[in-house]
Amino acid sequence: MRFPSPLVRGTLVSRYKRFFADVVLDDGTPVTAHCPNPGAMLGLNTPGLPAWVSRSDDPKRKLAHTLELVEADGGLVGINTLHPNRLVAEALAEGAIPEVAGYASTRREVRYGQNSRIDFLLEDPGRPPCWLEVKNVHLMRTSGLAEFPDCVAARSLKHLRELEAMAAAGHRAVMLFVIQRGDCGLFAACAELDPAYARGLDHAAANGVEVLAYRCALTPEAVALADPIPWRDAA
């Protein structure tokens, strides 16, 4: 996924009210950017971190700039939670996720379960449908270990249970964690911040839900899925 134009570098001043970030660009211009991330952003919202923003010329937007990347632990980290689904859509179209490649059709935002929508439904004649849920990951508290979630994630736990129900019905159910950083070689659910989700992921995996984790390659010009990494259960 290429950005429409190269991102502009600056310094993070403050992230506040969840969806706002003040950034001073390298040329000294102060901007208030949209922060497309409702999570805690632990370790990624520290004032003084290098930050990269995109700019839109859409006159209907209240804020022209969007916070896209920050530099933490010596590397770039994507914080835009809208990107993982776009990255997965591109990868599916290119057959770049071998575990779920080869399906004839892909549908997005299909209703299922208890008032839920699946991110991707993959279908092919003669094969069980594949229900694919995508989650954004950017938390790293221990070097090399990516974790999800970074706060209590009750809605994400509900999605796990919906996937379990699909697996129980004889369908494929896949939970794909997209890690928007390239410095992690292992993924785990964060039992310390959300023990219920960690237990739920273990339970789902033991009951037919396939768990995948892919890290990303990031530059100020583009973000792309790179390669899979193993995941560690909470047990």
| pLDDT tens per residue, range 141-197 | 999 999 999 999 999 999 999 999 999 999 999 999 999 999 999 999 999 999 999
Dump pLDDT digits (tens) for 81-129: 999 999 999 999 999 999 999 999 999 999 998 889 999 999 999 899 9
User: pLDDT-derived band of residue 23, with 50, 70 and 90 as boundaries?
Assistant: very high
pLDDT at position 235 is 59
pLDDT average, residue stretch 203-217: 98
Token code pair at residue 147? 């974790």
pLDDT at position 182 is 96
Dump pLDDT digits (tens) for 67-85: 999 999 999 999 999 999 9
What is the layout of strands, in order, in the sheet containing 172-179? 105-112, 116-123, 130-137, 172-179, 209-218, 223-228
Report whether pLDDT(234) > 70.
Answer: no
Domains of the chain: 8-78 (2.40.50.580), 83-232 (3.40.1350.60)
Report the mean per-residue pLDDT for the chain: 96
Q: Long-range contact list for 34-40, CB < 8 A, 24+ apart?
A: 34/63, 34/65, 34/66, 34/67, 35/66, 35/67, 35/79, 36/66, 36/67, 36/79, 36/80, 36/81, 36/82, 37/67, 37/79, 37/80, 37/81, 38/81, 39/81, 39/149, 39/150, 39/151, 40/150, 40/151
